Structures are given as C-alpha cells and as structure tokens.
Amino acid sequence: AFFWLVSLLLSSLIWFIAVKASDPQDEPLQKGLLIFGVMFSVLLQETFRFLYYKLLRKAIEGLVALSEDGCSPISIQQMAYVAGLGFGLMSGAFSMINLLADALGPGTVGIHGDSQLYFLTSAFMTMVLIFLHTFWGILFFHGCEHRRWWEITAVVAMHLAVSGSTFCNPLYVGSLVPSYLLMAAAAAWAYLLSGGSAQNLHRFLLCK
Amino acid sequence: MITFMNNSDSEEEPCNERTSLMSAESPPVPSYQDGLQASAAGEAQAHRKRRTGSSRGPNNIVDGETSDSDVPVRESTLENEEEEQILKYGAKHVIMLFVPVTLCMIVVVATIKSVRFYTEKNGQLIYTPFSEDTPSVGQRLLNSVLNTIIMISVIVVMTVFLVLLYKYRCYKFIHGWLILSSLMLLFMFTYIYLGEVLKTYNVAMDYPTLFLVIWNFGAVGMICIHWKGPLQLQQAYLIMISALMALVFIKYLPEWSAWVILGAISIYDLIAVLCPKGPLRMLVETAQERNEPIFPALIYSSAMVWTVGMAKPDAAARGGSQQTWDAAEDGRENHRSPSHADSQMSETRSPLPTRPITSLEELGEEERGVKLGLGDFIFYSVLVGKAAATASGDWNTTLACFVAILIGLCLTLLLLAVFKKALPALPISITFGLIFYFSTDNLVRPFMDTLAAHQLYI
C-alpha cells in the first residue's frame, strides 16, 4: 500500500508539473496531458510493484537465513497475494473514498447531464480494479520468480488496457465489460499458477 | 527502544551482550523507549509534553527452554531460535501496536469530521502566544516559528525537571502530580468532549445522568490506570486519553504552528533520546541502574506477561516508580495519565508463586509486549487529525498520512529489533507523515480530482 502511494505521489508530481507548465485553456492539450498522466502513472505503479518484489525477495532471503529449517515462514506466493491486495486496496480506497464521503451528503446524481449511474459504475470499476491488482500481484511475482518476462509484460499490458478502457467512460460498456473479462482471465491464470486446477475446483464445489 | 528483560539470570548467558542494556532481573517490565515525553495539557493551561518511546521487549526465547545445562551446545541454536522468535514475535508486536494506534487515529478523525467544536478557532494556549492572523506570509511564518520555540523550550524544561525529580527520588511528588493530571484529563476533558458530541447530535441529556456517566467513567479510569485493572480496559482508557489530548492540541494549536511544532518535536525526540546527555536517555539509564521500570506510567503496553519462577520478589514491579510528570503550573494542568501497564500486569498476571531459583526449570512463556509512549500516540493522532481537519475536505490526504505513519512505525520497530536500545518513535513516522500530507494535499489531490471528474482509473 505504501509503495502504491509513493508511485501515485511521483506520478501526480509529474502530471502537476506538466499541467502547470502548460496552458490551462487548451482543452485537448489538457486532455492529452491527462492521458499521458494516466499512462505514466500505470507504468510507475508497475515499476514500484517490481521494486517491492525486489524488497520482498531480500526479506525472504533474510528470513530463510535466520530460520532453522531453511524455509521461511511465509512463502513468496503469500507475499505476492498480500502485495497485490495492498496495491489494490490502496488504489480502491483512493478512488472511492471521496466519492463515498460525497455520497453521504445531499445532491442529485447526474443533474448536469452526466450519467446517473456514476456511483454504481464507479463502485463496480473500483471493485474490478482491486481484484485485478490482487491477481496482477500474483502473476507479476510469479513472472519475476521464474524469469518469465512475457508474464510481466502481459501484466503491464493488461493494466494499460484497463486504464485505457476507462477513457471510454461514460460509455460504460466500453470500460466495464472488457475489464471484467480481463479480470476473469487474470483470475483463472492466477489460480492455475497458484497450483489450482479444474479438479481442485470441482472438488471444492462439490464439497468433497 | 527495545530492551530485553530477562527474568532468569542463570540462563541466557549467550544473551548477555544483548541484555547488557537492561538489568537481568527485571520485573516484567521490559523497558523501552523512545523518547520519553510527558505532556500535560490543560484546557487553556500549560501543556507539557512527554514523550515516551516505544519499547519492545522481544520475546524471551524462553518458552520451554529449560535450565542452563549444556549451554554452549545450545548457544547457537538458542541464538538462532531467539532470532527467529524475535522476528516472529516482532511481527506480532508490530501488529499489536498497529491496532491501538489505528484506533486512536480513528477516534480522532471521526471526532474531527463530525464535531464542529474541534475545528473552530477559539483562542490559543498560553504556550503559543503569537497569533497567526497576520496579513503577511512572512509575519505568519515568523510567529509560528516563535510559537514553536516557546513550546519546545517548555517541553525541554519540563523534561529536564522530570529527570531531576526522578534522579533525586521525589517519587511522591511525581506520583501526586500524575494523579492530579489524570484526574483532570479523565473528568474535565471527557465532560467537554461529551458535551460537544451531544450538542452535535442534538441529544438531550440531563445533568444527573451526565454526572453518573462521567463519574463512573472517570473513577474506573483512575483505578484502571493507576492501580489494577483488566489489560484491555486499561488499554482502552489510554487510547481514549491520548485521543482527548490530541483533540485538544488540534483545537488549540494554530495551523502553521502545529506543523512546525510537529517537525520540531521529532527533532527534539531524536536528540533527547540518542544524545549521550539527552534528558530522556539519562532517564532511561538511571532507571536501568536502579532496576526500576522506567515510567510505567505514560506508556502504552500491549504486553501479557507471565512471570514465573522468580526467586526475587517482584519488588521493582511495584509501582514505586510511578512517575508521572505533571506540569503543575497552577495545579490546573492536565497530564496524560500514565499507563501503569507493567505494574498492574505483574500483579494481575503472576499466577504462579515464586520458586527458588535453584529449581529453575522452565520459565513460562514470557511474552513481552511492545511498549509505546502515549506521547507518540498523541502526536500521531495530532498529525492525522490536522490532516483531516485542514486538508481541503479530502479523505485521501488523511488516508495517505495514516499509511505513512504506520509505515514509519513499522520501520521504527524494525530498527528497534536491529539496535535493541531506546529509539525515538516520532521522527520517522512524523517525517513520512508530513511529507505525505503536504505532497498529497498539493500534488495528488488535483490529479485525483481530475481523474474522478472524468471517471478515469489508474
């Protein structure tokens, strides 16, 4: 969560500088800057995820060295899950909390002609992002562990795609649907990577 | 600060270099510390701050470890196990501290966001005489710096005074002072707080009920804190008291002064705890020489200590050194109530009778908790509360400061595990908190607002 926060900080710093240095009246430029800011932020988040991975790696080595039987009390997969969850929760919290605070107050949604489903779609989008961050955490760490660069690039590409799809808002079908599909794919992939299988799922569902 | 307290001095030979900072037979109080700081707050009176450091008593490897036979063979395994246990319990201790700090912050933020009273400017303390309602920026800055200087010097004077009192064993004075201050805190501040909350929610309450409620609250609080009581109740009271103090600070410190004071106090904490002639360090060392728990008061402890099999009576555990330090200018000061965690704990949780030391077999599990000074709670809450109060209506800033402080606390505890001596708990957390506050408020907020307006997600 902290690392996500730091990445957010740096990316907003860049955006802020860019905005201050440019002409506030120029609409397309501002929009362009915003897009640039979003993309840059995504890349920065992934970089920080990588840095966090490095830090955890060192921590695990330390734990292993200290422990008696040569294995650390917490596995890298657990760490991956927790890292992803932390990123997701922070990202979700930052996205939603002001919205929620405003939702408590008086007002009408979409009175100026915006979409009336603003709150709902925001909620769904946030949820999908949180899940995605968790899965990306698992995929990313797995990729780093086994040196499979294509997994890492897939995660980054997915993140960029999801953020990019939000540019379609308020055409919600353009952003929510692809995001959910991607989430399903990422979920299945992460599940398989973590050792699950169709058989396990089957057994779980039938409560054997 | 972590100090490790060993209750048995027969084994743990290998730990000697680590335990050299603390006395071998100490009572259940692992000492600690981070900056000691006492503060006394008064409604419009003098404030004194006290800081206490956080201490961590790592687990004494002891569960199940028996007598000191074949020590050399077990030395290395002992050390390994010890380290692993330290890490494991270290992580647990971190969590044990996160919860109370979080609770305190939640109480403060909830109050600030709902009760208008604490964000209204109704005058200032006499410790911050310079007003900030000046037309020019430079003047305002100058005033806040002057306020800070006055406040910090008051704190330094009080700390030195406390150290002197402690050195010359004026325990009764300190004891009385402490009781007076916690009395004021528990009764007067609670009364005001309750009054404001009731006003905000427009709930009517008659005076007899009010009197009954406050009397019970205060009386139980006094007993819990100064004498014996269930651990969790004591912790709850300490958290409430810290929150009340923090709210008073938030209300009465002018804006810029508050931020400068926070910064200055972390620097002071650093100096006072780490410099050889620093008052807090001298305090810690004096207490260690005397084998007494340092200020069981004013420290939040999450420990559960079972001390088993000690031949020596729990003398030091007795709250002879219940020092609290009051800034009794006109006797109208409020002080933070001490947290007599240790003494009470040793009393309420030593179920087993002492056994002769020769038959030293197992020491029961001694799970030492972590200790964090109440001053640290207060200042963390002040930072988060100020962020909630003055950030432009933004929850993001509050959340960012909260995360920053917790991470700072984590790092501090980590350093504690590494260095195993008293460390100040304020600097790292407050630095992170300040950085994140200013940057989130100025940089992240416009970014996030623009994103939210277009419903873009990153």
How close are the terminal C-alpha atoms of chain A, in Å? 37
Burial class (CB in 10 A: 0-12, 13-18, 19+), A171: exposed
Q: Residues B269, B326, B342, B394: which is the catalytic one?
A: B269
Residue B36 near residue B51 (C-beta atoms within 8 A): yes
Q: How far is B441 from chain A (nearest CA, A)?
A: 10
The helix (run of H) or strand (run of E) holding residue B305 is strand B304-305
Is the CB of A163 less than 8 angstroms away from the CB of B400? no
Window 82-141 of B: residues touching A by CB (8 A cutoff) are 83-84, 87-88
d(CA B162, CA B164): 5
Q: Does B219 touch chain A (CB under 8 A)?
A: no
Closest chain A residue to B410 measured between Cα atoms? Answer: A2
| Statement: residue A35 has pLDDT above 90 | no
- Answer with the residue of higher pLDDT: A115 or A176: A176
Query: What value does the CA radius of gyration of chain A take, rounded to a whole number of Å?
Result: 20
Is the CB of A34 less than 8 angstroms away from the CB of B456? yes
Q: How far is A73 from chain B (nearest CA, A)?
A: 9
Residue A122: which of B81, B442, B455 has the nearest Cβ?
Answer: B455
Residue B431's domain spans which residues? 101-302+370-454
Closest chain B residue to A110 measured between Cα atoms? Answer: B453
Is the CB of A34 less than 8 angstroms away from the CB of B452? no
Is the CB of A12 less than 8 angstroms away from the CB of B443? yes
| The model scores a pTM over 0.90 | no
Rounded to 5°, the CA angle B428-B432-B437 comes to 150
Dihedral (CA of A40, A45, A46, A50) sign: positive
d(CA B219, CA B208): 16
Q: Is residue B315 part of a domain?
A: no
Is the CB of B396 less than 8 angstroms away from the CB of A67? no
Q: What is the domain count for chain B?
A: 1
Tally of residues, chain A: 208
Residues of B in Cβ contact (< 8 Å) with A169: 454-456
Residue B335 near residue B181 (C-beta atoms within 8 A): yes
| One pLDDT digit (tens) per residue for chain B, 458 residues | 433 333 333 333 333 333 222 223 333 333 333 333 333 333 333 333 333 333 333 333 333 334 444 455 555 566 666 665 666 666 677 778 888 899 999 999 999 888 878 877 777 777 777 777 778 888 888 888 888 999 899 988 988 888 888 888 888 888 888 888 888 888 989 999 999 999 889 998 899 999 999 999 999 988 888 887 788 888 898 899 899 999 988 888 888 888 999 999 999 988 888 888 888 888 878 877 887 766 655 777 776 544 443 343 333 333 222 222 222 222 232 333 333 333 333 333 333 444 443 443 333 444 566 778 888 889 999 999 988 888 765 788 888 888 899 888 888 888 887 887 778 888 989 999 998 888 888 888 888 888 877 777 77
Q: How far is A184 from chain B (nearest CA, A)?
A: 19
Is the CB of A166 less than 8 angstroms away from the CB of B457? yes
Residues of B in Cβ contact (< 8 Å) with A12: 443-444, 446-448
A6-15, A105-114, B294-303: least confidently modelled range: B294-303
Q: Is residue B333 part of a domain?
A: no
Domain limits, chain A: 1-197
SS3 category, B352: coil
Q: How far is B458 from chain A (nearest CA, A)?
A: 5
d(CA A126, CA A129): 5
Residues of B in Cβ contact (< 8 Å) with A42: 458
Residue A165 near residue A175 (C-beta atoms within 8 A): yes
Residues of B in Cβ contact (< 8 Å) with A122: 455
d(CA B255, CA B398): 16
Q: Please tell me the predicted confidence (pLDDT) of residue A58.
A: 84
Is the CB of A63 less than 8 angstroms away from the CB of B443? no
Structure tokens, A48:
């920080």
* Active site annotation includes B376: yes
Main-chain dihedrals φ then ψ at residue B381, nearest 5 degrees:
-65, -35
Q: Residues B34, B326, B342, B376: which is the catalytic one?
A: B376
Dihedral (CA of B22, B28, B34, B35) sign: negative
CB pairs under 8 A between A and B: 89
> How many CA atoms within 13 Å lie on the side-chain side of B346?
23
d(CA B255, CA A15): 28
Q: Please tell me the predicted confidence (pLDDT) of residue A57.
A: 85
* Residues B366-389 as b or e (16 or more Cβ within 10 Å = b): bbbbbbbbbbbbbbbbbbbbbbbb
Query: What value does the CA radius of gyration of chain B take, rounded to a whole number of Å?
Result: 22
Is the CB of A34 less than 8 angstroms away from the CB of B451? yes
Structure tokens, B310:
């000690």
Residue B362 near residue B66 (C-beta atoms within 8 A): yes
Q: Is residue B128 part of a domain?
A: yes
Q: Which amino acid is at B118?
A: Y
Q: Please tell me the predicted confidence (pLDDT) of residue B82.
A: 62
Q: Please tell me the predicted confidence (pLDDT) of residue B62.
A: 34
Q: How far is B385 from chain A (nearest CA, A)?
A: 17
SS3 sequence of B191-259: HHHHHHHHHHHCCCCCHHHHHHHHHHHHHHHHHHHHCCCCHHHHHHHHHHHHHHHHHHHHHHCCHHHHH
Q: Is residue B325 part of a domain?
A: no
Q: How far is A2 from chain B (nearest CA, A)?
A: 7
Residues of B in Cβ contact (< 8 Å) with A101: 395
Mind listing the pLDDT tens digit for each residue in B304-342? 544 443 343 333 333 222 222 222 222 232 333 333 333
Q: Does A121 touch chain B (CB under 8 A)?
A: yes
* Active site annotation includes B206: no
Q: Does B394 touch chain A (CB under 8 A)?
A: yes
Window 7-36 of A: residues touching B by CB (8 A cutoff) are 8-9, 11-13, 15-16, 19, 34
d(CA A109, CA B232): 45
